[in-house]
Structure 1
Amino acid sequence: MLITTKAIVFSALKYGEADLIVKCFTEKSGLKTYLLRGVLKSKKGKLKASLFQPLTQLEIVAQHKDKGSLEYIREAKLLVPYESLHTNILKSAVVMFLSEVLRNAIKEEEANFPLFTFLEMSLLWFDQNEKTANFHLWFMLELTRFLGFYPDDSQRDGEVFNLEDGSFEYAETNNSCISDENVFQLKQFLGTNFDEISHIKMNQVTRSRFLLMLLNYYEIHLHGFHKPKSLGVLNEIYS
């Protein structure tokens, strides 16, 4: 079936001498994996390797067989020309990190319009704003809404957060409970929007600790999720 859809690039892996295997989250069909033959050597083809940088937003014309095999892209064009995501060193490190998070966390091969809209709008905001040091933390927390384990804040006055149950409590009930400064930071992030995240005061140490807590939260709730390899690069850039 030939389909035209918006797509966000999650990863592009070199295959052989001239091919790319690209994972995209598409608006109409969810996560898809494409084989781009000869794209690394072709200068006259419709597809350019530069289009498939992490988290690039495209419009693609693709052939979907929906049989669990590699699909094919016939045409692709840049839908959102980023101003800073692939040129600003700090943002580029975050892009690399978040693309790994998304690749590990999102597996569904079906349309999820609310999730796609969240991704495209969040990335656009990240590209166009300067005070973004907390963006990746806010993004990962908001992403859990679509993954099914956003924290339950009905007992928000509790001083303990149960990572396993995803809820606040008044006393520790298992080994997955935390009662450190991360609980305070978590409460600050809950319910915030784009323009409020810069008001949350964190230094490099508290930011790093909070990120590790979020990654642990993901590992508990998502089977097979593992810490991104680019975590070290991200920490180095922000240190």
Structure 2
Amino acid sequence: MPVTTKAIVISALKYGEADLIVKAYTFSDGLKTYMLKGVLKSRKGKFKASLFQPLTQLEIVAKHRGKGTMEYLQDARVAHHYENLHTDVVKSALIMFLAEVLRNSIQEEEANPPLFNYLENSFIILDQTEQIGNFHLLFLLRLSGFLGFSPEASQKDLACFNLLEGSFQEFSTNEYCIEGENLEILRRFLGINFDELSRIKLNQSSRRNFLNMLLLYYELHIEGFKKPRSLSVFNEIFS
């Protein structure tokens, strides 16, 4: 039975001469993979490759047979048209980076409406805002909550934060306990929304160090997570 659902493109990988393997996070069934035959060569086909740019928001009709299978996509259309997310050079670099993080982070083939809504709304905010310097930091920090390892913030005034345990502590107990500037930045980001980001002023070095800390946090809590290959390009553009 075909299902009609909203979906967010995570990645599109060329396969052979003309095919695409598309991973998308769907509202109805979580992460799904679709094989699109001939999409890169056919001018008269149902699908255009431009539909499957990273983080594009779609409404799709698909047959979902089960977990771990390549699914069949019957129809797709853009559900939300971004203004500049794919045309602004800096935002384009940012979404490539975020899409790679999502590809390394999301593995469940089951519905998670709160996570889908978070992604959907976050990318609309990113498209509409001009203040994007700290967006990815708050995005990753808040995403960790939907993935099950949000920092426990009830005692955020304690002396250090244990990345391994995901909690604040009175004193350091292992090599993954952070103090100093990264700790102060973490405290400032906890509990704020995207419309409050302009209050946090960070220089290039501080932003990069905090991002590296967040990526380590992901590595510690998601099996198989690797730093995005796009990180070096992303850092270059944001420098």
Fold similarity call, TM over 0.5? yes
Q: Deviations over 1:75-105 (max 9, x none)?
A: 1101111111101111111100000000100
Alignment coverage as a number of residue pairs: 239
Corresponding residue SS for 1:22: strand
Aligned counterparts of 2:96 and 2:72: Cα–Cα separation in 1: 24
Aligned counterparts of 1:68 and 1:214: Cα–Cα separation in 2: 29
1:192 matched to 2:192? The reply is yes
**Superposition deviation, residue 159 in structure 1:** 2.1
Aligned counterparts of 1:37 and 1:198: Cα–Cα separation in 2: 45
Other-structure match for 2:225: 225
Corresponding residue SS for 2:14: strand
Aligned counterparts of 1:204 and 1:83: Cα–Cα separation in 2: 27
Aligned counterparts of 1:67 and 1:198: Cα–Cα separation in 2: 42
User: Which amino acid is the alignment partner of residue 98 of structure 1?
Assistant: L
1:181 matched to 2:181? The reply is yes
Alignment of 1:1-239 (within 5 A): 1-239=1-239
Q: Deviations over 1:157-183 (max 9, x none)?
A: 112110011111121011111112100
Aligned counterparts of 1:153 and 1:68: Cα–Cα separation in 2: 36
RMSD: 0.7
Aligned counterparts of 1:102 and 1:198: Cα–Cα separation in 2: 25
User: Which amino acid is the alignment partner of residue 3 of structure 2?
Assistant: I
User: Which amino acid is the alignment partner of residue 36 of structure 2?
Assistant: L
Corresponding residue SS for 2:50: helix
**Superposition deviation, residue 7 in structure 1:** 0.3
**Superposition deviation, residue 209 in structure 1:** 0.3
Deviating runs (4+, > 6 A) in structure 1? none
* TM-score (norm: length of structure 1): 0.98
User: Which amino acid is the alignment partner of residue 144 of structure 2?
Assistant: T
State the identity as a percent: 62
User: Which amino acid is the alignment partner of residue 100 of structure 1?
Assistant: E
Corresponding residue SS for 1:79: strand
**Superposition deviation, residue 67 in structure 1:** 4.7
Is the Cα–Cα contact under 8 Å of residues 67 and 109 in structure 2 kept in the other structure? no
Corresponding residue SS for 2:83: coil
Aligned counterparts of 1:7 and 1:159: Cα–Cα separation in 2: 42
Aligned counterparts of 1:3 and 1:41: Cα–Cα separation in 2: 27
**Superposition deviation, residue 153 in structure 1:** 1.2
Q: Deviations over 1:180-211 (max 9, x none)?
A: 21000000000000110121110111000000
**Superposition deviation, residue 139 in structure 1:** 0.3
